[in-house]
Chain A
Amino acid sequence: MHSLFKMMTLAAAATVVLSAPASAQDTPVKGGTMVMTINQTPRHLNPAVQSGTATGVPGAQLFAAPLRYDEDWTPQPYLAESWEVAEDGLSVTLNLVEGAVFHDGKPITSEDVAFSVKTIQENHPFKTMFAPVTAVETPDAQTAILQLSQPHPALMLAMSSQLMPIIPKHVYGDGQDPKTHPQNAENVVGSGPFKLVEFTRDEHVILERFDDFFMEGRPYLDKLVMRIIKDPSARAIGLENGEIHMGTFEAVARDIKRLQAVDSLTATPEGYAAIGPIDWLAFNTATGNTADVNVRQAIAYAIDRNFIIKAIHQGLAEEAATGIHPGSPLYETNVDNYELDLDKANQILDDAGYARGDGDMRFGLTIDFGWPELKPNAEYVKAALKKIGIDVTVRSSPDFPTWANRISNYEFDMTWDTVFNWGDPVIGVHRTYQSTNIKPGVIWSNTQSYQNERVDELLEMAGIETDPSKRAELYSEFQKITAAELPVYWTNTLPYHTVYNNKVGNPPLGIWASSSPMDLMYLKP
């Protein structure tokens, strides 16, 4: 198991050059215009105040974070050329690269780091990321010291990718609300390898090389065009005929399969370990029949993960048995696994006193789904649960807000959902299981109304535990308890793929996929 803490303390590995995944004989070529896609129109381009990869993919090019990660979960220097974590874990010192400038030519200083942390703390929906940061000290222009109220192992990941963009204080600190700042979408003054040329809603984000980028000689590309194409088949056709060089966050199995067969393209699931997308069936654990753990377990025994993986995702997805993504070093495999077993499922329901009545049915449940891609899953559950005498009614929602309202106000029995881990469990996992996070009206909080004192305790301890093996133990116990009590039944990872033309060198295959700087990417002649 990788140790996050060791990575943290290994911090001084300041001069490590990012190892390129491509083989050695490929020397990067400079110049060229690359065309990639983003799958939704971003609300704007400032990831400091907006979560989600639609903003994050262009955002990670426009803004640099203090750190970046390689594909082995090892932090690498980026805007911070070195960093130190205090012995007691209560402060982290960042030493910024000398001579780094924003896109408007003004220097990037520790003041900007302090301002960025404050802006994120106040405006970003992921409150846990920087919650323990009490102050950012700026002894000199190149040094920023983050003071913590308690040890916070998740901080290292939170200081990378789209999660901690360093934004200029002299632009976004002008007193306007950062969430609606006019320069979030145009005239963006960033710190990253590319600067903004044009952002047209539903059309494209066009970026060009920032010549004074703090990493010498990078980025390699002259221009990076991100076309906004919502329809997966349209993206697939563009990739097939060479119009588009790369698509990321592709999840539709039949399109991926088709593209895998194209000679000029490579389709790979690598690179999404920290994004950590998991498909799951969430239960309402507060009201109705799903409040009974026996019912939830019986349902789990009646649902065949294999069928979902093989039939719906055509073999591209991976089994996910807990709330932590299988790609994470903290994933625990030794948990209750619920292999398909209809007899057992029926037995559990019989023993719990749910007798079969009208039409051989025991009781009825509703099932919702968060987006159209999950409709087959809902239909599958309807058919699968009929076999154990549960009459399932599929409820469709005309749009996303309708579904989000229903679920976050607890007006549901079961729902399919896809939720991201976001690297460290503190950022993306805790929110689903902590009883303190039962917040009516907030989607992707603990909408299951799950309450378990031990789980609360474990998560709280794991959030501040700096010893990696102790931390892993805490998360292991957490995964075992939740797998036994099943506030949600996890089925599979969402098979995100990066599909790229073989002309593309160094595609983003680290743990953050394209939500990370693509300064190393180039086009082969």
Chain B
Amino acid sequence: MSGNTNIDQARHPAADAVAMFFKNKPAIVALFVLVLIIIAGLIGPLLYPIDPFDMVWAPFGLPGEDGFILGTDYLGRDLFAGILHGTRVSLQVGLTAALMTVLIGVTVGALAGYFLGWVEEVLMRITEFFQVLPTLLFSMVIVALFGASLPMITFAIGLVSWPAVARITRAEFLRIRELEYVTASRAAGAKNLKLIFKVILPNALPPIIVQAALMVGSAILFEAGLSFLGLTDPNIVSWGQIIGSNRPYILDASYTVTFPGLAIFITVLCLSLVGDGLNDALNPKLRQR
């Protein structure tokens, strides 16, 4: 072809989003740190095979003492090993709970936003019911009633966190279902299921993805909160569990809660920055900003 060469190359919106994301420096740094944390969680325990439940040194060994870079806790257990092993558990809880939140939230929100009428009435009343319950107290009750095992804690976090996703999904559905391409699909004979999952949902995804990323962070915080209150499985190390069990010694050995606290802080901050980056990247209206 000759002549007019300044036609804009049509680009896939995802590529646009990726380009946009990589312009956001804090988000890139956060993503990098997050990847490091995930790698540490995956292979860290193999490289540093000290069992976090073994008593390896005198209690309250200071950081750096005898090679234990973060010191030891009240029973002389290696704090670094605890944090490293806890990474996997904390991330696992965060991801699983976020996934559960998205599954419940999207299903409820999509059905309510698509069908309207009594379906919406019923589903949104249920959502509101969960929304007005104090989340921490409600999850404490669940864990106290059914036992403080890791799956139950994850379940409790997921169960109390989905209303936000449901509301966002419903709002998106309400907006998109009236758009012309949806009407066009419907006119072309698309069934409800196809309209929901193939037509509307993909277009409603960006804010949901952002919400899910933030959800991982808040689930990690939630687990830490529950553990801090003692609602935790004592046979599994998580960051919150380390903080919870060392809390009584905070005046004598503050580092035993500082380091796991830092781990939570950094991870949640990174997740939050990445979430912001995704938000900017996936929201086309902000691209000119």
Using a CB–CB cutoff of 8 Å, the interface residues on chain A facing chain B are 252, 254, 258, 311-312, 372, 375-376, 378-380, 382-384, 386, 393-396, 398-399
Whether B234 pairs with A380 at a CB distance below 8 angstroms is no
Q: Which of A254, A311, A393 contacts B75 (CB 8 A)?
A: A311
Whether B53 pairs with A386 at a CB distance below 8 angstroms is yes
Give Cα A386 to B54, complex, Å: 9
Q: Which of A252, A380, A386, A396 contacts B148 (CB 8 A)?
A: A396
Please tell me which stretch of B160-168, B203-211, B245-253 contacts chain A, meaning at least 4 of its Cβ atoms lie within 8 angstroms of it: B245-253
- B: number of interface residues (CB 8 Å): 25
Q: Which of B54, B75, B144, B245 contacts A398 (CB 8 A)?
A: B144
Whether B230 pairs with A376 at a CB distance below 8 angstroms is no
Interface residues in B213-272 by Cβ distance below 8 A to A read 230-235, 245, 248-249, 251-252
Whether A311 pairs with B54 at a CB distance below 8 angstroms is no
Residue of B nearest to A232 (CB): B248
Most interface-central of B77, B230, B248, B252 (chain A CB within 10 A):
B248
Query: Are A383 and B249 also in contact (CB < 8 A) when A378-B234, A393-B235, A398-B231 are?
Result: no
Give Cα A386 to B235, complex, Å: 13
Using a CB–CB cutoff of 8 Å, the interface residues on chain B facing chain A are 51, 53-55, 58-59, 74-77, 143-145, 148, 230-235, 245, 248-249, 251-252
Most interface-central of A376, A384, A399 (chain B CB within 10 A):
A376
Whether B230 pairs with A380 at a CB distance below 8 angstroms is no
Whether A396 pairs with B143 at a CB distance below 8 angstroms is no
In terms of DSSP, what is the predominant structure of the interface of chain B?
loop
Give Cα A399 to B143, complex, Å: 12
Whether A375 pairs with B245 at a CB distance below 8 angstroms is yes
Query: Are A396 and B75 also in contact (CB < 8 A) when A254-B248, A258-B251 are?
Result: no
Whether A311 pairs with B76 at a CB distance below 8 angstroms is yes
What is the minimal beta-carbon distance from A508 to any residue of chain B, in angstroms?
Answer: 27
Q: Which of A311, A383, A395, A399 contacts B74 (CB 8 A)?
A: A311
Give Cα A375 to B148, complex, Å: 14
Which are the 4 A-B pairs with shortest beta-carbon distances? A398-B144, A394-B234, A311-B59, A383-B55
Chain A residue contacts of B251, Cβ below 8 A: 254, 258
A-B interface pairs (CB < 8 A), number: 52
Residue of A nearest to B54 (CB): A383
Q: Which of B75, B232, B233 contacts A376 (CB 8 A)?
A: B75
Whether B55 pairs with A380 at a CB distance below 8 angstroms is yes
Chain A residue contacts of B59, Cβ below 8 A: 311
Give Cα A371 to B107, complex, Å: 42
Chain B residue contacts of A394, Cβ below 8 A: 234-235
Cβ contacts A to B, 22 pairs, < 8 Å: A254-B249, A254-B252, A311-B59, A311-B75, A376-B74, A378-B234, A379-B53, A379-B234, A379-B245, A380-B75, A382-B235, A383-B54, A383-B55, A383-B75, A386-B51, A386-B54, A396-B148, A396-B230, A396-B232, A396-B233, A398-B143, A399-B144
What is the minimal beta-carbon distance from A18 to any residue of chain B, in angstroms?
Answer: 38
Give Cα A62 to B59, complex, Å: 44
Residue of B nearest to A252 (CB): B248
Chain B residue contacts of A396, Cβ below 8 A: 148, 230, 232-234
Whether B249 pairs with A382 at a CB distance below 8 angstroms is no
Residue of B nearest to A402 (CB): B144
Chain B residue contacts of A258, Cβ below 8 A: 251
Known: A254-B252, A383-B77. 9 other contacts (CB 8 A): A252-B248, A254-B251, A258-B251, A312-B75, A376-B74, A376-B75, A382-B235, A396-B232, A398-B145
Give Cα A264 to B230, complex, Å: 34
What is the minimal beta-carbon distance from A306 to any residue of chain B, in angstroms?
Answer: 13
Chain B residue contacts of A311, Cβ below 8 A: 58-59, 74-76
Give Cα A382 to B234, complex, Å: 10
Whether A379 pairs with B148 at a CB distance below 8 angstroms is no
Chain B residue contacts of A378, Cβ below 8 A: 234
Residue of A nearest to B53 (CB): A383
Give Cα A396 to B234, complex, Å: 7
Chain B residue contacts of A254, Cβ below 8 A: 248-249, 251-252
Chain B residue contacts of A380, Cβ below 8 A: 55, 75
Whether B234 pairs with A375 at a CB distance below 8 angstroms is yes
Chain B residue contacts of A398, Cβ below 8 A: 143-145, 148, 231
Give Cα A394 to B245, complex, Å: 14
Whether B53 pairs with A382 at a CB distance below 8 angstroms is yes
Residue of A nearest to B141 (CB): A398
Whether B74 pairs with A372 at a CB distance below 8 angstroms is no
